[in-house]
Structure 1
């Protein structure tokens, strides 16, 4: 065997066969281009000379190709300019792609043992990662609200792709997909300051109070100006209640509602707090009384007991 076999196979040169199309009197082969938005949704078809917009799109396409065809491969070389992969079982299946400077694309240059005849189907494919599962089954995960049970998820993957995945992989896939669909809870907390400023800007007169301890969110109080003004048309009674928040960080939601002239519920204010404690209720009601004091009907506060 030629000791430089790998280097010969992984050449960046691409032999261009003659095609029927002519440009400026010269015959040129038109290689297919991989559409990252359309082709990735279908069964992947690859060939020597196929062009990709960049190395990341190529990696995603070849990962899915390996899963669909039962090929578990190794990344021999993975760079922004060159990528080489080969079958883990050493059957001779090997692909090399590199950057095409002339066309500013990423292109498959060589591919050996294309049919992958000498190896069996790999039913434990390491390329079927939790991230890949989250993208492939994003719609189903959304339908199950991120709580697709492990066994049905695992069985569905086995039926679709003839591969086995672990419970931890499908658990992580559920979490990754929901974070992408809904956003990270931690990242959303970081947007609360902007949210408060936006409400004050576009709904002047609204009260937005946030309490932070040691640079960590603790409480948020909201009373919109339109609700303050509408309170004067409600009956002189306020209902208070609290309920659990079932998001990733938990907490408690405190609410104050009234009754309008049609006996319908009229929201006044609400607050997200760490727990339903005397201190959190005191904080909520102090802010509530300040908000309704200016526009209250005569005798409105007389019905509220002192804490």
Structure 2
């Protein structure tokens, strides 16, 4: 764990490597390490003519050079003392720097971690080789650079195996530091890791002030043991990602998703007012039906669009499906859906089999507000992308660091808001206010108000917070017609918004703090003896993939780089070349 690594490895100071007769070292291994570091700093190498339990003698590798060190153990103590040190090299600099056998991967890894570079996942072995060669003149083969980088990362974050071993103690300390935090660790009969779940107490209490929509998703972990990181997220009243719970499982299947939702149910109870949004993964659907029978399930419309682009060609069809998914009124939806049936009956049947209640806003049986996709989960995956090759304990610690920062920053931001509504909602309503000023308003009776915007006529009921356009009903925010009616009746538009969008609710959502572990407090013995070993590696054939292949929808939506215009070398104008120039 981090505290143990801190005790074992300290930051390297190359200036403190100077030797002298009488110097004491804790062990023979410590002396060997110092001598190897010295060879890198001073660009030479040494041979070891004598290495016994009580004596250690090294000489410069160049024959005839006077440089040598002799160290001995005193009595039965493991400590070694330098008894003889000849610091002068009588060989040439060029000759003694031609070998670097003592510059092993662990030594170079220590130097690289402490003195040179970043160990970010984007760093590659070739970057390490270039940096070491630039600073110390040591040329490295690829695999030595690979081992050097691996060792440097393990110094900083611990090994992948150690990450699993430290899980029981880490989760215990997280619960101790954060009241109300829920953690679960599942291992098989032999103690091998299977599943992990964590929901911080600050998130659990903060979700009470959120719209009851939870987006779930999974993303692959990299490295030797792989696995899948599962996320359960909400969106706050300022339209920001709210991390609710995280899980790590060996793979996405029926059992792992059911286990994850079973733990999530302890944090988010099942009820008719809950909506769960996900992609169309079959295991997710099965698990939701078993664990959350009362909740309404919706599928991500973006994933639906991607499947349609792959199965069915035609940009016009794609636009019609998107329009149908986002309709607020039943008559508008039916009109578009009938058009799809006329143009492409097979696509119409595919959409019906996908269950219109899951992807069409107007048919959704619960409240999903503006959340029609799993985009917030994709955004979270990008935030955590660099950590996906880290040891599992370090992944959890990076999540903890992220949440500590987010909760603090957003708490302060909410307290600084001077308006009743959040900043994001205020910005959204600004455009609607300008549109409402162009509307024609007529009172029908004490409850109903007629609003004409352009060619559309709608009826608003401010008491029940409804409008015949249904945007007011579904989003729980006043539509342009409701704002026009409110101004006509001299009613505050703030009173028409759901409290979930209030700055006070936003502040309450982030009122809790996510605390770090206190490594000064010892881990109880009953926790320390718990066994968690890595799962059995499952290597797929072929070269490991770091990034997934992009879908046709993602490729099509990317901004295309503007092609460089040809410039004529004769007239200096763009659009043609000298061969086709008509100006000369």
Give TM-score, length-normalised by structure 1: 0.70
Alpha-carbon separation, structure 2, partners of 1:164 and 1:289: 56
Distance apart, 1:272 and its partner CA: 1.0
Partner secondary structure for residue 210 of structure 1: strand
Distance apart, 1:119 and its partner CA: 8.7
The residue correspondences of 1:180-259 to structure 2 (distance < 5 A) are 180-213=155-188, 214-259=190-235
Runs of 5+ in structure 1 lacking a partner? 1-36
* Larger strand fraction of residues: 1
Cα 1:142–1:188, aligned 2, differ >3 Å: closer, same or farther? farther
Q: Is the 1:58–1:106 contact (alpha carbons within 8 Å) kept by the matching residues of 2?
A: no
Alpha-carbon separation, structure 2, partners of 1:152 and 1:270: 33
Distance apart, 1:67 and its partner CA: 4.1
Partner secondary structure for residue 42 of structure 1: helix
Give 2:108's aligned residue: 133
Cα 1:304–1:280, aligned 2, differ >3 Å: closer, same or farther? farther
Alpha-carbon separation, structure 1, partners of 2:39 and 2:266: 64
Alpha-carbon separation, structure 2, partners of 1:145 and 1:91: 44
Cα 1:186–1:231, aligned 2, differ >3 Å: closer, same or farther? same
Q: Deviations over 1:46-105 (max 9, x none)?
A: 56x363445445433433444455543221122454221234443253524234859x87
Shifted more, 72-81 versus 268-277: the winner is: 72-81
Q: Is the 1:141–1:174 contact (alpha carbons within 8 Å) kept by the matching residues of 2?
A: no
Cα 1:259–1:153, aligned 2, differ >3 Å: closer, same or farther? closer
Cα 1:145–1:268, aligned 2, differ >3 Å: closer, same or farther? closer
Alpha-carbon separation, structure 2, partners of 1:208 and 1:93: 62
Q: Is the 1:241–1:255 contact (alpha carbons within 8 Å) kept by the matching residues of 2?
A: yes
Partner secondary structure for residue 198 of structure 1: helix
The residue correspondences of 1:155-166 to structure 2 (distance < 5 A) are 155-166=130-141
Distance apart, 1:42 and its partner CA: 2.9
Establish whether residue 145 from structure 1 lines up as the match of residue 120 from structure 2: yes
Give 1:62's aligned residue: 35
Give 1:109's aligned residue: 84
Alpha-carbon separation, structure 2, partners of 1:185 and 1:118: 41
Give 1:15's aligned residue: none
Give 2:51's aligned residue: 78
Q: Is the 1:240–1:255 contact (alpha carbons within 8 Å) kept by the matching residues of 2?
A: yes
- Aligned mate of 2:263, from 284, 287, 292: 287
Give 1:21's aligned residue: none
- Aligned mate of 1:303, from 295, 301, 307: 295
Cα 1:170–1:38, aligned 2, differ >3 Å: closer, same or farther? closer
Q: Is the 2:272–2:295 contact (alpha carbons within 8 Å) kept by the matching residues of 1?
A: no
For CA contacts below 8 A with separation 6 or more, give which structure has more relative contact order. 2
Cα 1:184–1:142, aligned 2, differ >3 Å: closer, same or farther? farther
Give 2:505's aligned residue: none
Partner secondary structure for residue 245 of structure 2: strand
Cα 1:217–1:105, aligned 2, differ >3 Å: closer, same or farther? closer
Cα 1:200–1:150, aligned 2, differ >3 Å: closer, same or farther? closer
Give 2:68's aligned residue: 95
Partner secondary structure for residue 262 of structure 2: helix
Alpha-carbon separation, structure 1, partners of 2:256 and 2:219: 13
Alpha-carbon separation, structure 2, partners of 1:97 and 1:77: 9
Shifted more, 106-115 versus 262-271: the winner is: 106-115
Distance apart, 1:146 and its partner CA: 5.4
Alpha-carbon separation, structure 2, partners of 1:210 and 1:107: 50
Give TM-score, length-normalised by structure 2: 0.40
Partner secondary structure for residue 154 of structure 1: helix
Partner secondary structure for residue 212 of structure 2: coil
Larger radius of gyration: 2
Alpha-carbon separation, structure 2, partners of 1:114 and 1:180: 33
Give 1:277's aligned residue: 253
* Larger helix fraction of residues: 2
